[in-house]
Structure 1
Amino acid sequence: MSTARAIAGRLVNPIGLGCMGLSHGYGTPPQPDEAGRVLQAALDLGYDHFDTANIYGAGRNETLIGETLAHRRKEFFLASKTGILFDGPKRGTDCHPDSILRSLDQSLARLRTDHIDLFYLHRFDPEVPIADSVGALVRAIEAGKIGAYGVSEWSAEHIREAHAAHPMAAVQTEYSLWTRNVEIAVLDACRELAIALVAFSPVARGALANGLRDPDTLRQDDIRYSHPRFRPENWQKNLALVDSFNALAAGAGVTPAQLALAWVLSRAPFVHAIPGTTRHDHLEENFSSSTWQPGKYLLDSCDALINQNTVSGDRYPEPMQRTIDTEEFINNSNPH
């Protein structure tokens, strides 16, 4: 039986590849040659959904994908994003129509393609009417430059408004056992409107992949360095949850990453996950999660162990949190 799931009118494996870490985000990235080998290995394994953005490595991630995979472009579903402004500690958004279309042309050039299958607005821009931003994306669809559009870290209210202007294909947001914000309203909106939900950081930025024991070893250019959940005042509590989760995975005969990904995919048949990695062995480990279905008791045990009431610390530092439109829990429990 096929495990494929639909996104933007195309069936893909529900485990895709988040490409950011190959160029940016988690300390020193691999050299371009090695990063290219990771991309080639992913395609050879069967990955057919690759996700990038114009800001990842200031365009270097799109360039890497273009240089490495342009000759195999027909073999995969390609997603990219625009709309975040990033200048050191300063973060902002720009979803003006002219900016969207100019950024799209730049992404197409870096990716060495004339068509991006899915183009996201990376963040919500409160300064621009939603209909104006969507109108620019519709023009890009009509021009054949993109196949469909999506949004990232938007609230259910704004998703509905955009979808009413023109049907949306996907919503991308952080979703894992320890980040459940989509369960407040976005997951239901996607279900109602037949929109795919694409979960980034589905293994909790490595915490649920047994990939980090001591955050004190993180470099300052690793985004986790400033994230509250990895700070000393919260990490020891979270590490205790991780250890219990690792024991559940061991009891099931799978790795923690496989259990974490299987849990995310179990939430709904329209949910996709895009874990990132720089390692060939992790590519295979993650990809196999799409064919394993844990039992209800195990899923419920995971659900009860790690959730918004048991995890310690906010998911983002305050400057980053101000750019997030997705509904948030207050005091680890009540949504707003």
Structure 2
Amino acid sequence: MAINTIKINIKSMGAEMNRREFLKITSFMLAGAAAGFNGADIMAKEHKYSMPLRVLGKDFKVSALGLGCMGMSANHGPARDKKEMINLIAEAYDLGINFFDTAEIYGPHINEELVGSALKRYRKQVAIGTKFGLYYPNGKQLEDARPESIRKALEGSLKRLQTDYVDIYYQHRIDNKVPIEDVAGTMKDLVKEGKILHWGMSEPNIETIKRAHKEFPVTAVENQYAMSFRRHEEQTFKVIEELGIGLVAYSPLDRGYLAGQMDGNTKFDKKLDMRAGFPRMSHENMTKNRVIIDFLKELGNEKGGATPAQIALAWILAQKPWIVPIPETTNISHLRENIKAVNITWTKKEMEEINKRLSKIKLYGERYQPESDAAKSVYNLI
């Protein structure tokens, strides 16, 4: 390893590195150089714990669990303390997570700024996903995937994330005013320019997936998927498996409900927490749906006292090898709890029995208000 390579890697770690971190990493690099390792190998060893990797699409390798960052800044109550959230993201990295999810609309913008600040020292060792094309001018939902809008959005995201590329760039919601072929063509150009490495879509229908993938291969679809929300198993799974596309599962704990701490008495801030308007999170429906929490607790007891959140995440990991859940949290203890899900496994026969029982559990409440723009956009009806 050449000395000038060491200098480049150190410089890329960011201006906020303190002297102790600098000396520690430099010593690792010099030792690694003598042993024949490169800088990326040495930095990869800085994780305190290992995490199994999964492959999305053809070659996008990420940790089996990612971290959704939205709630740190918006939509799930007031924005959390920035320093505390930076520490939480650093802890996630130490625990082996290398995949972090954000979007320009979260805040808007402040979540990307948070993620950029937290990850700049680890930039070459992590994968960042962000999203474009979903806006709320005057409180009205708007999708905009015009090529010029995509480029403008990406430049803003790169600046806020303090990086010159995004690992995976998602279309946040499908814009039916713009042919998906035009979107895919723009993604192809951005990959050629080195500004993004992969691309994906959030909540597309299967025909849109097929058309997009034909124009330029899609790496991942980001959809809501949880033990309590399995709609995508019916058609989407078959299509993306045939095409070699991965699934990034957002809200794998169903907006936090499957962690088991919410019930009919849980209240959400109507101005700051989007869950206040979700039918499934109403007093009545959260009370009725406790039956699935009881089932999670039963499964947890069979696994030596695993928590409902751990069971819910482990269940997703057991469904397909190309699924990566990205649970959100703003609590370090919950982060550490979630990480342990990767150690829970079931036999094929056990999973068949679990899914059979799960399919018989009736759940109440839609995820979005019927006929709302949000509901229409996830079903591509706008």
Give yes or no for TM over 0.5.
Answer: yes
Q: Which runs of 5+ in 2 are unaligned?
A: 1-49
Structure 2 Cα separation of the partners of residues 286 and 233 of structure 1: 27
Name the structure 2 match of 1:77. 127
* Equivalent residues of 2:264, 2:287 under 8 A apart: no
**Which residue of 284, 291, 299 corresponds with 2:336?**
284
1:226 matched to 2:280? The reply is no
Partners of 2:70 and 2:83 in 1: CA distance:
16
After the TM superposition, which residues 113-152 of structure 1 pair with which residues of structure 2 at under 5 Å, given as runs?
A: 113-152=163-202
Structural RMSD (CA): 1.9
Aligned twin of 2:16:
none
CA contact (8 A) 2:145 2:178 kept: yes
Report the Cα distance in structure 2 between the residues aligned to 1:30 and 1:154, rounded to whole angstroms.
31
What's the offset of the Cα at 1:245? 2.4
Cα displacement (A) at 1:14: 1.2
Displacement after TM superposition at 1:295 (Å): 3.5
| 1:207, distance to aligned residue in structure 2 (A) | 1.2
**Alignment partner of 2:86: what SS?**
helix
**1:119 partner letter:** Y
TM-score (structure 1 length as normaliser): 0.92
Where in structure 2 are the equivalents of 1:163-312 lying within 5 Å?
163-220=213-270, 221-253=272-304, 254-296=306-348, 298-307=350-359, 310-312=362-364
Q: Distance in 1 between matches of 2:126 and 2:360?
A: 35
Counterpart CA distance in 1 for 2:314 and 2:161 is: 31
Seen in structure 2, the aligned counterparts of structure 1 residues 25 and 71 have a Cα distance that, compared at 3 Å, is same
Residue range with higher mean Cα deviation, 47-56 or 295-304: 295-304
Q: Structure 2: which amino acid aligns with 1:157? A: E
For 1:304 and 1:314, locate their aligned partners in 2 and report how far apart those are by CA, in whole Å. 22
In 2 relative to 1, CA 243–194 (structure 1 residues): closer, same or farther, beyond 3 Å?
A: same
Work out the percentage of aligned pairs sharing the same amino acid: 35
Q: Deviations over 1:54-93 (max 9, x none)?
A: 1111010100011121121011111111010124642121
1:50 maps to 100
Q: Which amino acid aligns with 2:297?
A: N
Match of 2:152 among 102, 110, 131: 102
* Alignment-mate amino acid for residue 59 of structure 1: H
Scaled by the length of structure 2, the TM-score of the pair is 0.81
1:324 aligns with 2:378: yes
Paired residues of 1:262 and 1:294 also in contact (CA < 8 A): no
What CA distance in whole angstroms lies between the structure 2 residues aligned with 1:209 and 1:289?
Answer: 12
Q: Is the 8 A contact 1:54 1:62 kept in 2?
A: yes
Bigger mean CA offset, 233-242 vs 27-36: 233-242
1:294 CA displacement: 2.5
Helix, strand or coil for the counterpart of 1:322?
Answer: helix
Deviation at 1:258, TM superposition (A): 0.8
C-alpha contact (below 8 Å) 2:134/2:142 kept by paired residues = yes
Structure-2 separation of matches of 1:184 and 1:278: 32
**Distance (Å, rounded) in 2 between the aligned partners of 1:316 and 1:273:** 21
The runs of at least 4 consecutive aligned structure 1 residues that moved more than 3 Å come to 295-302, 304-309
Report if aligned partners of 2:135, 2:142 keep a CA contact under 8 Å in 1.
Answer: yes
Deviations 1:193-229 (A, max 9, x none): 0011110011111111113123542211212111111
Paired residue secondary structure (2:190): helix
Local SS of the residue matching 2:136: strand
- Structure scoring higher RCO (CA < 8 A, sep ≥ 6) equals 1
* DSSP 3-state at the match of 1:139: helix
Shift in Å, 1:297: 5.4
Rate the CA distance shift 1:276–1:38 in 2: closer, same or farther, 3 A.
Answer: same
CA radius of gyration, larger in: 2
- 8 Å contact from structure 1 (residues 70, 113) kept in 2: yes
Q: Which runs of 5+ in 1 are unaligned?
A: 328-336
Alpha-carbon shift at residue 181 of structure 1 (Å): 1.6
Query: How many residue pairs end up in the alignment?
Result: 327
**Secondary structure of the corresponding residue to residue 323 of structure 1:** helix
| 1: CA distance, partners of 2:265 / 2:242 | 40
Determine if contact 1:241/1:305 at 8 Å carries over to the other structure. Answer: no
> What is the distance in 2 between the residues matched to 1:215 and 1:303?
29
Equivalent position of 1:334 in the other structure: none
Asked whether the equivalents of residues 262 and 286 of structure 2 are also in contact (C-alpha less than 8 Å), the reply is no
CA distance in 2, matches of 1:308, 1:172: 26
CA contact (8 A) 1:82 1:100 kept: yes
Amino acid across the alignment from 1:3? P
| Cα pair distance change 1:182/1:303, threshold 3 Å | same
Per-residue CA deviation, residues 153-210 of structure 1 (Å, 9 max, x unaligned), is 0011110000000111000000001111211211111100001111001111111111
